[in-house]
Chains A and B, each alone.
Chain A
Amino acid sequence: MVNPVRNNKLAENAKMKDKNTISNGVKFAIKNLDIWFGTIHALKQVSMEIEANEILGAIGPSSSGKTTFLRMLNRLNDLSPNFRMNGEVKLENDNIKNIDAQFLRKRVGMVFALPLSLPLSIFDNVAYGVKMHGVKNKKLLQNKVEESLKEAYLWDEVKDRLNESAFKLSGGQQQRLCIARTLAVSPEVILFDEPCSGLDPISTAKVEDAMVKLKQKYTIVLVTNNVKQAARVSDRTAFFLNGELIELDKTELIFTGPKDKRTDGYIRGKFG
């Protein structure tokens, strides 16, 4: 590969795997999860565990249920009027049904496919969630914003223009701004819903960079349509098809010797 950013990242990625940063703690335990939207059976009997400090990649063709799965984890599915579920999802031994949605969503942050910058300054965009949760102290806000922007690898690019409108940033920068905004609320888990679908390759590399570094502190679930992205950044990869979890294993294994023929077909680009 010619891209130095990418090469550095891959090296770093490999180093982290050597150090075996994946702890044994289980963040999410999902058991026999079924989800319906009206008559559509969107997820069928999904059981899996998501470990702390790992990047779990979820791949699969469109309408395979991977996004529904992701939005289950912070209960965003609850917003759909005809949503029904069966089974249980536990976040560190607490059934997420029993956690108040707003506390759950504070612990489980989410970054969407399209950068959702608000028509505010860069600073206010990042401080938005923190302010909403009642932090008013200016010093505290400033620290939080700086810290989050650094974690999202955006600080160096914006530190001199925090008061400019967020719309002046490029697409990739806006997406990292959204990551910073999510980080500012101090979540434990970050859900990425196709975070690079609208970005050019260099911006994508930067966002992927940020993700790989973030897993030291956070657990990451990444839904992506880009199979190669899952191969590059995730520790384990889950393959969804028609609402079923077909296969979940270490990323290397999924991409070198998948057990299921359908997984093999998808990653080779035979369908989807």
Chain B
Amino acid sequence: MQKIKEFIIEKFIFICGIASIFFVVLIFLFLLKEGLAVFKFVKPLEFLLGKNWYPISEPAQLGILPLVLGSLLVTLGAAVISIPIGVGCAIYIAEIAPLKIKETLKAGIELLAAIPSVVLGFIGMVTLVPLVKNIFHLPTGLTALSGSIMLAFMAMPTIVSIAEDALYSVPKNYKEGAFALGATHWQTIWRVMLPAASSGILAAVMLGIGRVIGETMAVMMITGNAAIMPNSILSPVRTLTATIAAEMGEAVVGSEHYFALFAIGIVLFVISFIINVTADLFLHKDQK
């Protein structure tokens, strides 16, 4: 009796264990099946490098280059804004801040992470967008830049908390060693702590970027959603994610448009997979 019980529990836990990987595989297969069907209508290169995204014109033009560039532009902008601020914040929390400020800041960062992205997008739409419009004298403030700034806020909590962990776990004797050589606090941070924590910080950056590139709601609300080739950070763009979210509802199931959206899903999947794997490599570099 005992044995049967043991057996059943063991198997049940085994199923729980492999469930996640099973679902990932299922999702990926489904994505592949639906997405790859688009290549009956366009050639892969035309799809990836085509400059026109007119999915419902006749004949449909399915080039996702403007969308890819839109995603990359917004992500790059967000990275440029969030990495220095995020890493700086992590250094401040881990090394400089007195205990009380440290606790307050950490709680603040966690709160920032808890804000739903649609709320951030909404706030961005009514405050940031007019601001960008006025500062740069643009016809519209719905630009890649607005999206970058908003997404930087979303990437920051990830970057700060993981980078802070990385700095915190630098062995204490590294720090003491540097101080004992007569290093100032900043020299210790710059020449010892940061290099020692570099893999963790890089992982933090990658995960932050991963969050940005997969973000949908906020970018859809404030980047303007124009599927055109972007010529500067101040032009409206449309990202891969926003395209799927905006068009999936109106695409006819089984049409080339429908398959193209799934193919975009594959592209996104591949991009964030690469980013996550890179982050993982950095994160586990030291443990080998």
Contacts and interface: CB of A to CB of B under 8 A. Distances in A.
Contacts of A132: 181-183, 187, 191
A115 B266 CA distance: 50
Given A81-B99, A132-B187, A76 B182 contact: no
B179 interface: yes
B110 interface: no
Given A81-B99, A132-B187, A132-B191, A109 B176 contact: no
A116 B173 contact: yes
Contacts of B181: 105-106, 109, 128-129, 132, 181-182, 185
A132 B189 CA distance: 12
A133 interface: yes
A129 B182 contact: yes
A64 interface: no
B175 interface: yes
B175 A106 contact: no
A197 B174 CA distance: 18
Interface residues of B, number: 14
A81 B100 CA distance: 13
Interface in A168-185: 181-182, 185
Interface string B50-85: 000000000000000000000000000000000000
Q: Is the interface of B mostly helix, strand, loop or mixed?
A: helix
A79 B175 contact: yes
A167 interface: no
B179 A76 contact: yes
A112 interface: yes
A76 B180 contact: yes
A109 B180 contact: yes
A37 to B, nearest CB: 15
Interface string A89-129: 00000000000011101100110101010000000000011
Q: Which of B99, B173, B181 has the most CB of A within 10 A?
A: B181
A116 B187 contact: no
A112 B174 CA distance: 10
Given A114-B173, A132-B191, A103 B179 contact: no
Contacts of B179: 76, 79, 101-102, 105
Given A79-B175, A112-B173, A132-B181, 6 more contacts: A76-B176, A101-B179, A105-B182, A105-B183, A128-B181, A185-B182
11 contacts: A76-B180, A101-B179, A105-B182, A106-B181, A109-B182, A114-B173, A116-B177, A132-B182, A132-B183, A132-B191, A133-B182
